Amino acid sequence: MAHERRQELIQILHDCAMACNYCFDACLKEDNVKMIADCLKLTRECADTCAFTEQAVSRNAQFHEQLLKFCAEVCDACGAECEKHAAHSEHCRVCAEACRRCAEACRNIA
């Protein structure tokens, strides 16, 4: 992977992990937590997966292709879930957008 593309990917993974963690924390304070149980589950998965992938990419780990495909799949699922709540929840809207962007970046490079 060329240096510049790698730096860009690391930044996108980082942004997505941060958006997911912020959304996770914000969701815990929502009244209708039941409605967003899937949201809590998926933002945790997605934050952890993006952070793991970011670390792996930054230390130039091999196995990029399979890891990035896996990461894109998790981002897809989290983005789709957060999208459902985007109309009335700003943190879900921001998270959904970060997930979409990250899934695309992972697939482009994988």
The two structure tokens encoding residue 2: 């060329």
Measured over the CA atoms of residue 4, residue 56, residue 64 and residue 45, the dihedral's sign is negative
Residue 73 within binding range of its own copies, rule CB under 8 A: yes
Residues 78-107 that bind its own copies (CB under 8 A): none
Token duo for residue 39:
């949201």
Between the alpha carbon of residue 6 and those of residues 34, 101, 108, the distances in Å are: 38, 15, 12
- Single out the residue of 8, 52, 104, 110 in contact with its own copies (rule: CB under 8 A): 52
With beta carbons less than 8 A apart as the criterion, state whether 16 and 24 touch.
no
Query: Candidates 10-18, 82-90, 93-101, 102-110 — which segment interacts with its own copies by CB under 8 A?
Result: 10-18
DSSP state of 62: S
Q: Which of 5, 25, 90, 108 binds its own copies (CB under 8 A)?
A: 25
Report phi then psi at 107, rounded to 5.
Answer: -70, -40
Q: Which of 14, 93, 101, 107 binds its own copies (CB under 8 A)?
A: 14
Min dist CB 32 to its own copies, Å, is 8
Binding site for its own copies (CB under 8 A): 10, 14, 17-18, 21-22, 24-25, 28-29, 31, 33-34, 37, 40-41, 44-45, 47-48, 51-52, 54-56, 58-63, 66-67, 69-70, 73-74, 77
